[in-house]
Amino acid sequence: MTAPPPSPPKPTLAHRAQFALLRGVVAWLSGMPLDRARRIGERIGMLGYFPLGIRRNVVVRQIAAAFPGLGEAQVRALAKRAYAHLGRLAIETALVARLGRDGVLSLFEEESDFPLVERRLAEGRGVIAFTGHVGSWELAGAYLAARGVPIDAVARRMNNTLFDAYLNQARTDVGMTVVYDNEAVRRIPRAMKEGRLVGLVADQGVMGLASTFVTFFGRPAKTPRGPAVFALRYKVPILFVSALLQPSGKYRLFVEEIPAVETGDRDADVDATVARFTASLERMVRRYPEQYFWHHRRWKRQPPDTPPELREPI
């Protein structure tokens, strides 16, 4: 008999205070037009660059390493836009609960690659959908759910259980089924049999997570193997899905199919497939660099024999 998952820890006093602040901010922003709330979010995000300087050196170093052709002023300008994007993203994510399905759909342009999702789901085999921390990964999943896609969103449990419950309720309200990452191995096979789409955010190397090292902007980066492992095991399509903000002020859904590598050498095939979808992510980041989460140390974990010039920028 399988042991039940451990109960989440009880929220601390600090967690309760943080959550009360969140609810207060959400209540305040809910009374104004979304565009104005977004602008406030951008200003809040900019405070992280200056004067607070939260991970500013990390962001600047990583952008400079990814785009060596940029001058210092260009790097810092791009870093500021990345902070503004993160602030806007935080506000949008916090307000998803009040938007509902119609509200989520209204945030997107009509033109999209959604028909590709429909065609692959119609095959009845299930779909593995990979995304990264570019654009709005939360709204990408919410949009698919709002369009009626049966989606299981694999998520990591947040330290603040009140935040966790709030965000997961918003995901559920728009139509997503939340699957914690420690349940994924058990739940994903069932989802594939039922012809569902499983969404994974898989562009950050995490301790204890099955990963491999692939090139990202010319440097080896530890990258989760999960999407490739599941797709090859169950012989289902892999789709790279992302939602990127456009000049219109709305998001556009981009979908690209990632052909799996199948030579018969399973480990090598998984690694090669991970490299393929990481290359797709890099292409999208190059198009929308200000919408990538540069605040995470993407090259923190590397092979021990990495040449000095390709190590994490410091």
pLDDT 10s digits, 9-38: 788 989 899 889 888 888 888 889 989 999
pLDDT of residue 5: 55
> Residue 236 and residue 196: Cα distance in Å, rounded?
11
For the four alpha carbons of 95, 110, 84 and 55, in that order, the dihedral sign comes to positive
Mean per-residue pLDDT, 133-154: 96
Mean pLDDT of 101-112: 94
Assess whether pLDDT exceeds 70 at residue 139: yes
Give CA–CA dist 46/84, Å, rounded. 5
Degrees (nearest 5) of the Cα angle 1, 234, 275? 115
- At 101, list the tokens: 């399905």
Q: Which residue has the higher pLDDT, 7 or 74?
A: 74
In the predicted model, is pLDDT for residue 245 greater than 80?
Answer: yes
- Which pLDDT band, with edges at 50, 70 and 90, does 209 fall under? confident
Average pLDDT score over residue span 107-128 = 96
- Residue 96 has a pLDDT of 83
153 SS3 class: strand
Asked whether residue 70 carries a pLDDT value surpassing 80, the answer given is yes
- Is 172 a residue whose pLDDT tops 60? yes
How high does pLDDT run on average in the chain?
93
**Residue 152 pLDDT > 50:** yes
Q: How far is the C-alpha of 230 from the C-alpha of 234, rounded, in Å?
A: 6
Which residues make beta-bridge pairs with 201?
A: 131
pLDDT at 314: 84
* pLDDT-above-90 percentage for the chain: 79
- How much is the pLDDT for 208? 64
Task: Check residue 1 and give its pLDDT.
Answer: 45
Residue 167, phi then psi, degrees to nearest 5: -65, -40
Q: Which residues pair with 155 in a beta bridge?
A: 180
**Among 93-97, 288-292, 307-311, where is mean pLDDT lowest?**
93-97
Strand blocks (E) in 100-195: 127-131, 151-155, 177-180
> What does the pLDDT read at residue 175?
92
Backbone φ, ψ for residue 292 (5° rounding): -100, 150
Give the pLDDT of residue 264: 94
What secondary structure letter does DSSP report for 48? H
On the question of pLDDT at 157 being above 70, the answer is yes
- Phi and psi at 165, nearest 5°, equal -65, -40
Q: What is the pTM of this model?
A: 0.93
Spell out the domains of the chain, with CATH numbers in brackets.
13-310 (3.40.1130)
Which pair of tokens denotes residue 182?
A: 């420690």
107 neighbors 175 (Cβ within 8 angstroms): no
- In sequence order, which residues have a C-beta less than 8 Å from that of residue 55 and are 6 or more positions away? 48, 295
> Which of 11-25, 98-112, 129-143, 161-175 is modeled with the greatest confidence?
129-143
Contact, 238 vs 226, CB < 8 A? no
Taking residues 91-110, what's their average pLDDT? Answer: 90
CA-CA-CA-CA torsion sign (110, 116, 120, 126):
negative
Query: Rounded to an integer, what distance in angstroms lies between the CA atom of residue 15 and that of residue 108?
Result: 33
Cα separation, 30 vs 95, whole angstroms:
7
